[in-house]
Structure 1
């Protein structure tokens, strides 16, 4: 039986300021089935310059650069083309001797289990 559900927030539960259709019902159904919900996100509300500067300083001290995606562009909440994570990853790779480790799509290991949890697709209940 599935005990814990991991949910990405942006693009799964909401897009911009709007809830994704049926997301609220899916959350309610999961909670009523006594499932633990864990919310994840790779989005932020901090100014990008501050985030990039903090990341650069951490990498200068030996922190690895872990990236969830290498996409150059994506559609934003207004369906307009915007810079995606890959542009910022490439910028941070200018740190001498550093190359990003890709952990998300299209990395082949993305679909391999890394956590001892079962993940359910809430849009396709059984």
Structure 2
């Protein structure tokens, strides 16, 4: 029985400052059906308060506890391990790490630093790693849909460069880490097998969710989706749908079928 829904944001609910057609109404339909929601974004450029404000401006009701980002997961990791961060992230995100004063060593934190990715910044991070710092990747996405509508390099390429040079493997805190999906379900009293993920990234959103044990993962044809993405990664999507509105219809129909099947027994 479907008991919870995880949703990506960029490319699923909105593109830039514009909602994807029907997305706001689809979120409300899921809420009206009594399904708890968690918004699981891999964005590592926008701080948390800006994401919540953007959603509110679009008319999407999201509480603080419903939004999970890699930056929040990283802060919790750093606090738990007592590490001081060496940041290679977008300047807008740096404030989220300002309250940390770890005394048990250092950790390199890599996100989508945008124009801050240059040889000097990458080399500083590399030197921290070979000196023994822990290695945290906020996300390993290959690409994202940029403001001009085209795909741009995401953090994954730069994480891979540091991994290659240092010989160190990162702790991945965002999607496709299984822990990220499972932490989104924590507190919902919902087994992973009873949850559905909706995303536009066949690798991080969909295959990642299925590898984490979620019962279904739907790939939408919006955002960064390109024809053929549904065949490029394993596991393949449970279903390929046009957009969030179609994904909502799929979920509600699947729930009705489950209910009808239960009534027939």
TM-score by length of 1: 0.68
Q: Deviations over 1:25-70 (max 9, x none)?
A: 11010000111000011113359x741863346894334547443x
2:38 is paired with a residue of what secondary structure? strand
Distance 2:162 2:152 in 1: 18
2:109 is equivalent to residue 54 of structure 1: yes
1:10 Cα deviation (Å)? 1.0
Distance 1:95 1:112 in 2: 31
Match of residue 169, structure 2, among 78, 94, 99: 99
Range that drifts further, 79-88 or 25-34: 79-88
1:54 is paired with a residue of what secondary structure? strand
Segments of 5+ residues of structure 1 without an aligned counterpart are none
2:182 is equivalent to residue 112 of structure 1: no
Match of residue 90, structure 1, among 145, 160, 183: 160
Larger Rg: 2
Distance 1:75 1:35 in 2: 29
1:20 Cα deviation (Å)? 0.9
Aligned partner of 1:4 in structure 2 is 4
Distance 2:163 2:217 in 1: 34
CA shift in 2, pair 1:23/1:38, >3 Å: same
Higher relative contact order (CA 8 A, sep 6+): 1
Distance 1:90 1:120 in 2: 26
Distance 2:166 2:24 in 1: 45
Runs of 4+ residues deviating >6 angstroms: none
Distance 2:24 2:129 in 1: 37
Which structure has greater helix proportion?
2
CA shift in 2, pair 1:113/1:83, >3 Å: closer
Segments of 5+ residues of structure 2 without an aligned counterpart are 48-86, 91-107, 111-124, 177-202, 219-243, 254-265
Distance 1:3 1:79 in 2: 34
Aligned partner of 1:79 in structure 2 is 149
Aligned partner of 1:34 in structure 2 is 34
CA shift in 2, pair 1:22/1:113, >3 Å: same
Distance 1:101 1:50 in 2: 15
